[in-house]
Structure 1
């Protein structure tokens, strides 16, 4: 998302500021509508990943790297 935000054209922001928009107005009227497809995509993917975390049985999940390092640690 950061790359998508930084890659955006700054001319729209400059033009909106010259037209008298506040920072909030520029964000609400210019930046947010331009970013809506990216925000929607991230939201859908996040919802699907969270749904899969809940629906997949714990014994069938792939072991995470952090879980493996904790289980492989020697007992003290």
Structure 2
């Protein structure tokens, strides 16, 4: 995270998850990002906050369901 604003974006996001009682955990797989893994019944996401300020979002269940339909 390069700026206070980038940290605030991550912190605000985590605070909102807590306020809404949504389960999450923090992970670190790449040196340039912090991943927030979010799970609610029937849905799951990986949200990566990159050090350059960008945010990448991946819906895991949608990817798995698409792969299963193609098989």
Question: What TM-score does the superposition give when structure 2 sets the normalisation length?
Answer: 0.27
Higher relative contact order (CA 8 A, sep 6+): 1
The structure whose residues are more often helix, as a share, is: 1
Question: What TM-score does the superposition give when structure 1 sets the normalisation length?
Answer: 0.26
The structure whose residues are more often strand, as a share, is: 2
